[in-house]
Structure 1
Amino acid sequence: MVEAVADDVDMIQHLDDMAMTGRVAAIRARTETRELAPEDCDDCGEDIPIERRRAAPWTRRCVRCQMLAERAFGGRA
């Protein structure tokens, strides 16, 4: 029974990884076709709000994309 639970968890993790890979590929495809300005999010291409850029001038992502990246990469993004 424990083995079946582990298999389910592994499958869910695998599907989640596949979905994240697809999302990352879609974002890259959208943003690689245009040149980004320094105030544009590297992931989605939308403007990074001025308040965020003032608070964290080194940032390359909007808040939403940063949260998604941290979730995807376990805080290593």
Structure 2
Amino acid sequence: MVDLVEMAEEFQAMNLQEKINARTQFTVPSHDECDDCGEDIPVQRQALGGVTRCIECQTKFEAKQKHFR
């Protein structure tokens, strides 16, 4: 008998990997400082590529964008 929990976990793991693979890959270098507030952007965040805002400013930006859609 097939274990439904194992099947669900495998499906979820595959689905997560597909989402990771489908993520937009940025080739543009990240900025060292936030465009909005001028604070330093952490190196881990810069590693994503194409980053122009610190986490706080990006969160605010995305919240504003939600209301305009």
Give the TM-score of the pair, scaled to structure 1.
0.45
More helix by share: 1
